[in-house]
Structure 1
Protein backbone atom coordinates (compact mmCIF):
# COMPACT_ATOMS: atom_id res chain seq x y z
CA UNK A 1 0.00 0.00 0.00
CA UNK A 2 2.85 2.40 0.74
CA UNK A 3 5.36 1.16 -1.85
CA UNK A 4 3.98 3.07 -4.89
CA UNK A 5 4.32 6.41 -3.10
CA UNK A 6 7.84 5.52 -1.93
CA UNK A 7 8.81 4.42 -5.43
CA UNK A 8 7.41 7.60 -6.97
CA UNK A 9 9.46 9.76 -4.59
CA UNK A 10 12.60 7.64 -5.07
CA UNK A 11 12.39 7.67 -8.88
CA UNK A 12 11.70 11.41 -8.92
CA UNK A 13 14.78 12.09 -6.81
CA UNK A 14 17.21 9.29 -7.73
CA UNK A 15 16.10 8.05 -11.14
CA UNK A 16 14.22 4.97 -12.34
CA UNK A 17 17.13 2.60 -11.72
CA UNK A 18 16.87 3.26 -7.99
CA UNK A 19 13.31 1.94 -8.11
CA UNK A 20 14.52 -1.42 -9.40
CA UNK A 21 17.23 -1.48 -6.72
CA UNK A 22 14.56 -1.03 -4.04
CA UNK A 23 12.38 -3.78 -5.51
CA UNK A 24 15.36 -6.14 -5.71
CA UNK A 25 16.29 -5.35 -2.09
CA UNK A 26 12.76 -6.13 -0.92
CA UNK A 27 12.78 -9.48 -2.72
CA UNK A 28 16.24 -10.37 -1.41
CA UNK A 29 15.98 -9.09 2.17
CA UNK A 30 12.28 -9.69 2.89
CA UNK A 31 10.82 -12.19 0.45
CA UNK A 32 13.66 -14.72 0.33
CA UNK A 33 14.21 -14.95 4.14
CA UNK A 34 10.45 -15.32 4.63
CA UNK A 35 10.37 -18.26 2.22
CA UNK A 36 13.44 -19.92 3.74
CA UNK A 37 12.54 -19.44 7.39
CA UNK A 38 8.74 -19.55 7.49
CA UNK A 39 7.55 -22.07 4.90
CA UNK A 40 7.63 -25.74 5.88
CA UNK A 41 5.94 -28.86 4.53
CA UNK A 42 3.72 -30.69 6.96
CA UNK A 43 4.69 -34.33 7.66
CA UNK A 44 2.69 -36.81 5.61
CA UNK A 45 1.85 -40.43 6.15
CA UNK A 46 2.90 -42.59 3.17
CA UNK A 47 -0.13 -43.30 0.95
CA UNK A 48 -1.53 -46.80 0.89
CA UNK A 49 -1.86 -48.68 -2.37
CA UNK A 50 -5.61 -47.98 -2.46
CA UNK A 51 -5.06 -44.26 -1.79
CA UNK A 52 -2.50 -44.09 -4.58
CA UNK A 53 -4.98 -45.65 -7.01
CA UNK A 54 -7.84 -43.41 -5.88
CA UNK A 55 -5.74 -40.28 -6.27
CA UNK A 56 -4.44 -41.13 -9.74
CA UNK A 57 -4.77 -37.92 -11.70
CA UNK A 58 -6.51 -37.88 -15.09
CA UNK A 59 -5.49 -35.38 -17.72
CA UNK A 60 -7.15 -31.99 -17.85
CA UNK A 61 -8.86 -32.96 -21.11
CA UNK A 62 -10.38 -36.02 -19.47
CA UNK A 63 -11.66 -33.88 -16.62
CA UNK A 64 -12.99 -31.31 -19.07
CA UNK A 65 -14.95 -33.95 -20.96
CA UNK A 66 -16.45 -35.19 -17.71
CA UNK A 67 -17.69 -31.76 -16.54
CA UNK A 68 -18.36 -28.75 -18.81
CA UNK A 69 -18.42 -26.44 -15.79
CA UNK A 70 -14.62 -26.59 -15.66
CA UNK A 71 -14.47 -24.85 -19.03
CA UNK A 72 -17.10 -22.31 -17.92
CA UNK A 73 -15.05 -21.48 -14.83
CA UNK A 74 -11.83 -21.13 -16.86
CA UNK A 75 -13.53 -18.81 -19.35
CA UNK A 76 -15.20 -16.74 -16.63
CA UNK A 77 -11.83 -16.36 -14.93
CA UNK A 78 -10.09 -15.36 -18.16
CA UNK A 79 -12.65 -12.76 -19.23
CA UNK A 80 -12.75 -11.30 -15.71
CA UNK A 81 -9.03 -11.22 -15.01
CA UNK A 82 -7.82 -9.70 -18.29
CA UNK A 83 -9.47 -6.27 -17.80
CA UNK A 84 -8.59 -5.98 -14.12
CA UNK A 85 -4.89 -6.78 -14.54
CA UNK A 86 -4.61 -4.66 -17.70
CA UNK A 87 -6.09 -1.60 -15.98
CA UNK A 88 -3.87 -2.13 -12.92
CA UNK A 89 -0.77 -2.41 -15.14
CA UNK A 90 -1.48 0.97 -16.76
CA UNK A 91 -3.09 2.62 -13.77
CA UNK A 92 -0.81 5.58 -13.19
CA UNK A 93 -0.55 6.67 -16.87
CA UNK A 94 -4.29 6.06 -17.22
CA UNK A 95 -5.02 8.40 -14.31
CA UNK A 96 -2.59 11.01 -15.62
CA UNK A 97 -4.32 10.78 -19.00
CA UNK A 98 -7.60 11.56 -17.21
CA UNK A 99 -6.21 14.70 -15.60
CA UNK A 100 -4.98 13.38 -12.24
CA UNK A 101 -1.66 14.75 -10.96
CA UNK A 102 1.22 12.24 -11.25
CA UNK A 103 1.95 12.19 -7.50
CA UNK A 104 -1.74 11.68 -6.69
CA UNK A 105 -1.93 8.95 -9.31
CA UNK A 106 0.92 7.13 -7.55
CA UNK A 107 -0.97 7.49 -4.28
CA UNK A 108 -4.04 5.96 -5.93
CA UNK A 109 -1.99 2.85 -6.68
CA UNK A 110 -1.52 2.50 -2.92
CA UNK A 111 -5.29 2.82 -2.52
CA UNK A 112 -5.67 0.15 -5.20
CA UNK A 113 -3.46 -2.19 -3.15
CA UNK A 114 -5.48 -1.49 -0.01
CA UNK A 115 -8.68 -2.25 -1.89
CA UNK A 116 -7.19 -5.57 -3.01
CA UNK A 117 -6.72 -6.50 0.66
CA UNK A 118 -10.28 -5.50 1.53
CA UNK A 119 -11.67 -7.35 -1.49
CA UNK A 120 -9.95 -10.55 -0.40
CA UNK A 121 -11.47 -10.42 3.10
CA UNK A 122 -14.94 -9.32 1.96
CA UNK A 123 -15.16 -11.97 -0.77
CA UNK A 124 -14.14 -14.67 1.67
CA UNK A 125 -16.82 -13.59 4.12
CA UNK A 126 -19.51 -13.40 1.44
CA UNK A 127 -18.96 -16.84 -0.14
CA UNK A 128 -19.50 -18.40 3.30
CA UNK A 129 -23.00 -16.90 3.31
CA UNK A 130 -24.08 -16.32 -0.31
CA UNK A 131 -24.10 -18.46 -3.46
CA UNK A 132 -20.58 -18.08 -4.87
CA UNK A 133 -21.45 -17.16 -8.48
CA UNK A 134 -23.55 -14.24 -7.22
CA UNK A 135 -20.51 -12.97 -5.32
CA UNK A 136 -18.36 -13.40 -8.44
CA UNK A 137 -21.05 -11.59 -10.48
CA UNK A 138 -21.03 -8.62 -8.10
CA UNK A 139 -17.25 -8.37 -8.18
CA UNK A 140 -17.43 -8.38 -11.99
CA UNK A 141 -19.98 -5.56 -12.03
CA UNK A 142 -17.76 -3.42 -9.78
CA UNK A 143 -14.85 -2.94 -12.20
CA UNK A 144 -17.37 -2.63 -15.03
CA UNK A 145 -18.76 0.45 -13.28
CA UNK A 146 -15.18 1.58 -12.72
CA UNK A 147 -14.53 1.38 -16.48
CA UNK A 148 -17.65 3.45 -17.15
CA UNK A 149 -16.32 6.10 -14.75
CA UNK A 150 -12.94 6.09 -16.50
CA UNK A 151 -14.68 6.66 -19.83
CA UNK A 152 -15.90 10.09 -18.71
CA UNK A 153 -12.76 11.82 -19.98
CA UNK A 154 -11.42 14.29 -17.44
CA UNK A 155 -12.39 13.09 -13.95
CA UNK A 156 -12.04 14.59 -10.49
CA UNK A 157 -10.38 12.96 -7.51
CA UNK A 158 -13.63 11.59 -6.10
CA UNK A 159 -14.39 9.75 -9.33
CA UNK A 160 -10.80 8.50 -9.51
CA UNK A 161 -10.98 7.15 -5.96
CA UNK A 162 -14.29 5.41 -6.67
CA UNK A 163 -12.97 3.73 -9.81
CA UNK A 164 -9.78 2.73 -7.99
CA UNK A 165 -11.66 1.06 -5.16
CA UNK A 166 -14.00 -0.82 -7.52
CA UNK A 167 -11.11 -2.22 -9.56
CA UNK A 168 -9.04 -3.04 -6.48
CA UNK A 169 -11.88 -4.86 -4.71
CA UNK A 170 -12.37 -7.07 -7.76
CA UNK A 171 -8.66 -7.75 -8.11
CA UNK A 172 -8.49 -8.91 -4.50
CA UNK A 173 -11.63 -11.01 -4.70
CA UNK A 174 -11.36 -12.82 -8.00
CA UNK A 175 -8.63 -15.41 -7.47
CA UNK A 176 -9.96 -16.26 -4.00
CA UNK A 177 -13.48 -16.73 -5.35
CA UNK A 178 -12.12 -18.94 -8.13
CA UNK A 179 -10.28 -21.07 -5.57
CA UNK A 180 -13.49 -21.47 -3.56
CA UNK A 181 -15.65 -22.27 -6.60
CA UNK A 182 -13.13 -24.85 -7.83
CA UNK A 183 -13.47 -26.74 -4.56
CA UNK A 184 -17.21 -26.18 -4.17
CA UNK A 185 -18.15 -27.39 -7.65
CA UNK A 186 -15.53 -30.10 -8.20
CA UNK A 187 -14.38 -31.19 -4.74
CA UNK A 188 -10.76 -31.79 -3.76
CA UNK A 189 -10.05 -35.07 -5.57
CA UNK A 190 -8.58 -33.25 -8.62
CA UNK A 191 -8.47 -29.79 -7.11
CA UNK A 192 -4.85 -29.02 -8.00
CA UNK A 193 -5.37 -29.84 -11.68
CA UNK A 194 -8.61 -27.90 -12.02
CA UNK A 195 -7.52 -24.86 -10.02
CA UNK A 196 -4.18 -24.86 -11.82
CA UNK A 197 -5.99 -24.69 -15.15
CA UNK A 198 -8.12 -21.75 -14.02
CA UNK A 199 -4.96 -19.94 -12.92
CA UNK A 200 -3.35 -20.72 -16.28
CA UNK A 201 -6.40 -19.20 -17.99
CA UNK A 202 -6.15 -16.15 -15.73
CA UNK A 203 -2.44 -15.64 -16.42
CA UNK A 204 -2.75 -16.03 -20.20
CA UNK A 205 -5.71 -13.65 -20.24
CA UNK A 206 -3.81 -11.16 -18.09
CA UNK A 207 -0.90 -11.16 -20.55
CA UNK A 208 -3.31 -10.69 -23.45
CA UNK A 209 -5.08 -7.86 -21.63
CA UNK A 210 -1.86 -5.99 -20.88
CA UNK A 211 -0.65 -6.29 -24.48
CA UNK A 212 -4.07 -5.24 -25.79
CA UNK A 213 -4.36 -2.09 -23.70
CA UNK A 214 -0.85 -1.03 -24.78
CA UNK A 215 -1.46 -1.72 -28.47
CA UNK A 216 -4.82 0.08 -28.47
CA UNK A 217 -3.32 3.09 -26.72
CA UNK A 218 -0.51 3.28 -29.29
CA UNK A 219 -2.95 3.04 -32.18
CA UNK A 220 -5.70 5.34 -30.87
CA UNK A 221 -3.81 7.71 -28.57
CA UNK A 222 -6.13 6.98 -25.66
CA UNK A 223 -7.61 4.30 -23.44
CA UNK A 224 -11.25 4.56 -24.57
CA UNK A 225 -11.17 1.61 -27.00
CA UNK A 226 -9.56 -0.66 -24.42
CA UNK A 227 -12.09 0.34 -21.76
CA UNK A 228 -15.02 -0.43 -24.06
CA UNK A 229 -13.47 -3.81 -24.83
CA UNK A 230 -12.95 -4.51 -21.13
CA UNK A 231 -16.58 -3.65 -20.34
CA UNK A 232 -17.60 -6.33 -22.85
CA UNK A 233 -15.21 -8.85 -21.27
CA UNK A 234 -16.59 -8.17 -17.78
CA UNK A 235 -20.17 -8.61 -19.00
CA UNK A 236 -19.24 -12.00 -20.48
CA UNK A 237 -17.45 -12.98 -17.26
CA UNK A 238 -20.45 -12.07 -15.11
CA UNK A 239 -22.81 -14.10 -17.31
CA UNK A 240 -20.49 -17.12 -17.30
CA UNK A 241 -20.28 -17.11 -13.51
CA UNK A 242 -24.08 -17.18 -13.23
CA UNK A 243 -24.24 -20.00 -15.79
CA UNK A 244 -22.38 -22.33 -13.40
CA UNK A 245 -25.74 -23.19 -11.83
CA UNK A 246 -26.42 -24.72 -8.45
CA UNK A 247 -23.72 -26.33 -6.37
CA UNK A 248 -23.53 -30.07 -7.14
CA UNK A 249 -25.36 -32.25 -4.65
CA UNK A 250 -22.48 -34.75 -4.67
CA UNK A 251 -19.83 -32.44 -3.20
CA UNK A 252 -19.80 -32.77 0.55
CA UNK A 253 -17.37 -30.86 2.71
CA UNK A 254 -13.85 -31.27 1.40
CA UNK A 255 -14.34 -34.30 -0.82
CA UNK A 256 -16.18 -35.35 -3.95
CA UNK A 257 -18.59 -38.25 -3.68
CA UNK A 258 -18.23 -40.25 -6.89
CA UNK A 259 -21.40 -41.70 -8.37
CA UNK A 260 -21.89 -43.41 -11.75
CA UNK A 261 -23.38 -40.19 -13.14
CA UNK A 262 -20.60 -37.92 -11.94
CA UNK A 263 -17.55 -40.18 -11.94
CA UNK A 264 -14.57 -38.99 -13.92
CA UNK A 265 -13.03 -41.26 -16.58
CA UNK A 266 -10.73 -42.97 -14.07
CA UNK A 267 -13.27 -43.37 -11.27
CA UNK A 268 -16.32 -44.23 -13.42
CA UNK A 269 -17.98 -47.49 -12.51
CA UNK A 270 -16.18 -47.90 -9.18
CA UNK A 271 -17.90 -47.27 -5.85
CA UNK A 272 -16.28 -44.70 -3.57
Structure 2
Protein backbone atom coordinates (compact mmCIF):
# COMPACT_ATOMS: atom_id res chain seq x y z
CA UNK A 1 0.00 0.00 0.00
CA UNK A 2 2.79 2.38 0.91
CA UNK A 3 4.57 1.66 -2.39
CA UNK A 4 1.38 2.39 -4.37
CA UNK A 5 0.89 5.69 -2.57
CA UNK A 6 4.52 6.63 -3.09
CA UNK A 7 4.47 5.67 -6.76
CA UNK A 8 1.17 7.19 -7.81
CA UNK A 9 0.31 9.65 -5.06
CA UNK A 10 -3.26 8.32 -4.93
CA UNK A 11 -5.05 5.22 -3.71
CA UNK A 12 -6.68 2.74 -6.11
CA UNK A 13 -10.46 3.03 -6.06
CA UNK A 14 -11.00 -0.38 -4.47
CA UNK A 15 -8.50 0.24 -1.69
CA UNK A 16 -10.05 3.65 -1.04
CA UNK A 17 -13.50 2.10 -0.67
CA UNK A 18 -12.11 -0.49 1.72
CA UNK A 19 -10.49 2.19 3.88
CA UNK A 20 -13.63 4.32 4.19
CA UNK A 21 -15.98 1.35 4.69
CA UNK A 22 -15.64 1.22 8.52
CA UNK A 23 -16.39 4.94 8.88
CA UNK A 24 -19.30 4.66 6.44
CA UNK A 25 -20.80 1.74 8.35
CA UNK A 26 -20.34 3.58 11.63
CA UNK A 27 -22.14 6.68 10.31
CA UNK A 28 -24.96 4.57 8.88
CA UNK A 29 -25.41 2.80 12.20
CA UNK A 30 -25.13 5.85 14.45
CA UNK A 31 -26.84 8.46 12.25
CA UNK A 32 -28.72 6.74 9.46
CA UNK A 33 -30.70 4.31 11.61
CA UNK A 34 -31.91 6.91 14.16
CA UNK A 35 -32.81 9.26 11.31
CA UNK A 36 -34.89 6.54 9.64
CA UNK A 37 -36.68 5.86 12.93
CA UNK A 38 -37.36 9.60 13.31
CA UNK A 39 -38.98 9.68 9.87
CA UNK A 40 -41.20 6.74 10.80
CA UNK A 41 -42.24 8.42 14.06
CA UNK A 42 -42.83 11.77 12.34
CA UNK A 43 -45.27 10.07 9.94
CA UNK A 44 -47.10 8.20 12.71
CA UNK A 45 -49.21 8.74 15.79
CA UNK A 46 -46.80 7.82 18.57
CA UNK A 47 -47.06 8.06 22.33
CA UNK A 48 -45.28 6.25 25.14
CA UNK A 49 -48.14 3.74 25.16
CA UNK A 50 -47.70 2.62 21.53
CA UNK A 51 -44.07 3.57 20.92
CA UNK A 52 -43.27 0.04 19.71
CA UNK A 53 -46.28 -0.06 17.38
CA UNK A 54 -46.70 3.43 15.86
CA UNK A 55 -49.87 4.10 13.85
CA UNK A 56 -49.09 5.52 10.42
CA UNK A 57 -50.98 8.73 9.65
CA UNK A 58 -48.99 10.45 6.90
CA UNK A 59 -48.10 14.13 7.14
CA UNK A 60 -50.57 14.90 9.92
CA UNK A 61 -47.89 15.64 12.50
CA UNK A 62 -46.18 18.14 10.20
CA UNK A 63 -49.51 19.87 9.56
CA UNK A 64 -50.17 19.99 13.31
CA UNK A 65 -46.79 21.60 13.97
CA UNK A 66 -47.10 24.15 11.17
CA UNK A 67 -50.62 25.14 12.30
CA UNK A 68 -49.61 25.52 15.94
CA UNK A 69 -49.12 29.21 16.93
CA UNK A 70 -46.91 28.06 19.82
CA UNK A 71 -44.42 26.58 17.33
CA UNK A 72 -44.08 29.86 15.42
CA UNK A 73 -43.87 31.80 18.68
CA UNK A 74 -41.01 29.55 19.76
CA UNK A 75 -39.33 29.95 16.37
CA UNK A 76 -39.61 33.75 16.60
CA UNK A 77 -38.20 33.80 20.15
CA UNK A 78 -35.29 31.52 19.16
CA UNK A 79 -34.53 33.60 16.06
CA UNK A 80 -34.50 36.90 17.95
CA UNK A 81 -32.49 35.39 20.78
CA UNK A 82 -29.88 33.86 18.44
CA UNK A 83 -29.46 37.01 16.33
CA UNK A 84 -29.11 39.31 19.33
CA UNK A 85 -26.74 37.12 21.33
CA UNK A 86 -24.56 36.10 18.36
CA UNK A 87 -24.19 39.70 17.18
CA UNK A 88 -23.39 40.99 20.67
CA UNK A 89 -20.86 38.23 21.31
CA UNK A 90 -19.18 38.91 17.98
CA UNK A 91 -18.92 42.68 18.53
CA UNK A 92 -17.84 42.46 22.18
CA UNK A 93 -15.45 39.58 21.50
CA UNK A 94 -13.83 41.46 18.62
CA UNK A 95 -13.45 44.61 20.71
CA UNK A 96 -11.90 42.71 23.60
CA UNK A 97 -9.59 40.75 21.29
CA UNK A 98 -8.17 43.94 19.80
CA UNK A 99 -8.09 45.95 23.02
CA UNK A 100 -6.56 43.19 25.16
CA UNK A 101 -4.13 41.82 22.55
CA UNK A 102 -1.06 43.58 24.07
CA UNK A 103 -2.04 42.36 27.54
CA UNK A 104 -2.51 38.78 26.31
CA UNK A 105 0.99 38.91 24.79
CA UNK A 106 2.44 39.89 28.18
CA UNK A 107 0.23 37.66 30.38
CA UNK A 108 -0.95 34.58 28.39
CA UNK A 109 -2.59 33.07 31.49
CA UNK A 110 -5.12 35.91 31.46
CA UNK A 111 -6.94 34.16 28.62
CA UNK A 112 -7.48 31.08 30.77
CA UNK A 113 -9.09 33.23 33.48
CA UNK A 114 -11.45 34.83 30.96
CA UNK A 115 -12.47 31.38 29.68
CA UNK A 116 -13.89 30.32 33.05
CA UNK A 117 -17.55 31.34 32.39
CA UNK A 118 -17.88 29.09 29.34
CA UNK A 119 -16.48 26.13 31.29
CA UNK A 120 -19.57 26.03 33.50
CA UNK A 121 -22.57 23.92 32.51
CA UNK A 122 -25.41 26.11 31.12
CA UNK A 123 -27.90 24.54 33.54
CA UNK A 124 -25.65 25.43 36.46
CA UNK A 125 -25.32 28.99 35.16
CA UNK A 126 -29.10 29.23 34.90
CA UNK A 127 -29.52 27.99 38.47
CA UNK A 128 -26.92 30.45 39.74
CA UNK A 129 -28.61 33.43 38.05
CA UNK A 130 -32.02 32.25 39.21
CA UNK A 131 -30.80 32.48 42.80
CA UNK A 132 -29.23 35.88 42.14
CA UNK A 133 -32.30 37.33 40.38
CA UNK A 134 -35.08 35.76 42.45
CA UNK A 135 -37.57 38.51 43.26
CA UNK A 136 -37.79 37.93 47.02
CA UNK A 137 -34.43 36.51 48.13
CA UNK A 138 -32.12 37.35 45.23
CA UNK A 139 -29.08 39.55 45.94
CA UNK A 140 -29.50 41.65 42.79
CA UNK A 141 -33.17 42.71 43.31
CA UNK A 142 -32.59 43.41 47.01
CA UNK A 143 -29.47 45.49 46.34
CA UNK A 144 -31.24 47.33 43.52
CA UNK A 145 -34.19 48.10 45.81
CA UNK A 146 -31.86 49.31 48.56
CA UNK A 147 -30.13 51.72 46.20
CA UNK A 148 -33.02 52.93 44.07
CA UNK A 149 -36.09 52.22 46.21
CA UNK A 150 -37.55 49.63 43.84
CA UNK A 151 -36.36 46.76 41.68
CA UNK A 152 -37.55 45.51 38.30
CA UNK A 153 -38.73 41.92 37.96
CA UNK A 154 -35.82 40.58 35.94
CA UNK A 155 -37.60 37.34 35.01
CA UNK A 156 -41.04 38.80 34.26
CA UNK A 157 -42.53 38.34 30.75
CA UNK A 158 -41.63 41.92 29.82
CA UNK A 159 -37.95 41.71 30.77
CA UNK A 160 -37.11 38.00 30.66
CA UNK A 161 -35.94 38.11 27.03
CA UNK A 162 -33.34 40.78 27.79
CA UNK A 163 -32.27 39.07 31.01
CA UNK A 164 -31.82 35.71 29.26
CA UNK A 165 -29.94 37.35 26.39
CA UNK A 166 -27.60 39.15 28.80
CA UNK A 167 -26.83 35.92 30.65
CA UNK A 168 -26.11 34.10 27.38
CA UNK A 169 -23.82 36.91 26.24
CA UNK A 170 -21.92 36.97 29.54
CA UNK A 171 -21.31 33.23 29.45
CA UNK A 172 -20.33 32.74 25.81
CA UNK A 173 -18.54 35.95 24.81
CA UNK A 174 -15.24 34.34 25.99
CA UNK A 175 -15.69 31.75 23.22
CA UNK A 176 -15.87 34.48 20.59
CA UNK A 177 -12.95 36.26 22.26
CA UNK A 178 -10.76 33.16 22.07
CA UNK A 179 -11.46 32.51 18.38
CA UNK A 180 -11.19 36.14 17.30
CA UNK A 181 -8.03 36.80 19.27
CA UNK A 182 -6.39 33.79 17.59
CA UNK A 183 -7.31 35.22 14.18
CA UNK A 184 -6.17 38.72 15.16
CA UNK A 185 -2.84 37.46 16.47
CA UNK A 186 -2.26 35.53 13.22
CA UNK A 187 -2.23 38.71 11.10
CA UNK A 188 1.41 39.35 10.08
CA UNK A 189 2.81 42.34 11.92
CA UNK A 190 4.68 43.44 8.78
CA UNK A 191 1.37 44.34 7.12
CA UNK A 192 0.37 46.64 9.96
CA UNK A 193 3.85 48.19 10.06
CA UNK A 194 3.78 48.86 6.31
CA UNK A 195 0.34 50.46 6.60
CA UNK A 196 1.52 52.60 9.51
CA UNK A 197 4.52 53.77 7.47
CA UNK A 198 2.09 54.74 4.68
CA UNK A 199 0.24 56.95 7.15
CA UNK A 200 -2.74 54.72 7.98
CA UNK A 201 -4.08 55.32 11.48
CA UNK A 202 -5.41 52.65 13.85
CA UNK A 203 -9.00 52.94 12.62
CA UNK A 204 -7.97 52.79 8.97
CA UNK A 205 -5.78 49.74 9.63
CA UNK A 206 -8.69 48.08 11.40
CA UNK A 207 -11.09 48.67 8.51
CA UNK A 208 -8.73 47.96 5.62
CA UNK A 209 -6.46 45.28 7.06
CA UNK A 210 -7.68 43.61 10.24
CA UNK A 211 -11.37 43.13 9.44
CA UNK A 212 -10.86 41.84 5.86
CA UNK A 213 -8.16 39.47 7.10
CA UNK A 214 -10.45 38.20 9.88
CA UNK A 215 -13.62 38.08 7.77
CA UNK A 216 -13.79 34.24 7.43
CA UNK A 217 -13.22 33.81 11.16
CA UNK A 218 -15.87 36.43 11.95
CA UNK A 219 -18.38 34.62 9.74
CA UNK A 220 -17.63 31.20 11.23
CA UNK A 221 -17.79 32.53 14.79
CA UNK A 222 -21.13 34.21 14.13
CA UNK A 223 -22.51 31.04 12.57
CA UNK A 224 -21.43 28.86 15.50
CA UNK A 225 -22.84 31.25 18.09
CA UNK A 226 -26.07 31.72 16.10
CA UNK A 227 -26.68 27.96 15.91
CA UNK A 228 -25.86 27.53 19.58
CA UNK A 229 -28.17 30.38 20.54
CA UNK A 230 -30.99 29.16 18.31
CA UNK A 231 -31.05 25.73 19.94
CA UNK A 232 -30.57 27.00 23.51
CA UNK A 233 -32.37 24.98 26.16
CA UNK A 234 -30.60 24.52 29.51
CA UNK A 235 -30.29 27.94 31.09
CA UNK A 236 -33.58 29.24 29.65
CA UNK A 237 -35.50 26.24 30.96
CA UNK A 238 -33.90 26.51 34.41
CA UNK A 239 -34.48 30.26 34.67
CA UNK A 240 -38.00 30.73 33.28
CA UNK A 241 -39.19 27.48 31.71
CA UNK A 242 -41.75 28.23 29.01
CA UNK A 243 -42.53 31.60 30.56
CA UNK A 244 -45.94 33.21 31.05
CA UNK A 245 -48.04 32.39 28.01
CA UNK A 246 -45.04 30.71 26.37
CA UNK A 247 -43.15 34.02 26.27
CA UNK A 248 -39.73 32.36 26.74
CA UNK A 249 -40.34 29.09 24.91
CA UNK A 250 -37.44 28.28 22.60
CA UNK A 251 -37.79 25.76 19.81
CA UNK A 252 -35.86 23.21 21.90
CA UNK A 253 -38.22 23.73 24.84
CA UNK A 254 -41.21 23.39 22.48
CA UNK A 255 -39.92 19.99 21.31
CA UNK A 256 -39.19 18.92 24.90
CA UNK A 257 -42.68 19.90 26.05
CA UNK A 258 -44.34 18.08 23.16
CA UNK A 259 -42.31 14.94 23.83
CA UNK A 260 -42.33 14.65 27.62
CA UNK A 261 -45.19 16.82 28.85
CA UNK A 262 -47.84 16.25 26.16
CA UNK A 263 -46.82 12.68 25.33
CA UNK A 264 -46.96 13.46 21.60
CA UNK A 265 -43.77 11.94 20.26
CA UNK A 266 -44.82 12.20 16.61
CA UNK A 267 -45.35 15.96 16.84
CA UNK A 268 -42.06 16.43 18.69
CA UNK A 269 -40.10 14.47 16.09
CA UNK A 270 -41.89 16.29 13.23
CA UNK A 271 -40.90 19.64 14.77
CA UNK A 272 -37.31 18.37 15.08
CA UNK A 273 -37.23 17.41 11.39
CA UNK A 274 -38.64 20.79 10.37
CA UNK A 275 -35.91 22.46 12.41
CA UNK A 276 -33.32 20.17 10.79
CA UNK A 277 -34.57 21.07 7.31
CA UNK A 278 -34.47 24.80 8.06
CA UNK A 279 -30.96 24.53 9.50
CA UNK A 280 -29.77 22.57 6.47
CA UNK A 281 -31.27 25.18 4.12
CA UNK A 282 -29.54 28.02 5.98
CA UNK A 283 -26.21 26.16 6.02
CA UNK A 284 -26.47 25.35 2.31
CA UNK A 285 -27.21 29.00 1.51
CA UNK A 286 -24.24 30.18 3.53
CA UNK A 287 -21.93 27.66 1.88
CA UNK A 288 -23.06 28.74 -1.59
CA UNK A 289 -22.63 32.38 -0.65
CA UNK A 290 -19.14 31.71 0.65
CA UNK A 291 -18.29 29.75 -2.51
CA UNK A 292 -19.57 32.56 -4.71
CA UNK A 293 -17.51 35.14 -2.86
CA UNK A 294 -14.38 33.02 -3.26
* Alignment TM-score, normalising by the size of structure 2: 0.33
Look at both structures and tell me which one has the larger radius of gyration over its CA atoms: 2
* Alignment TM-score, normalising by the size of structure 1: 0.35
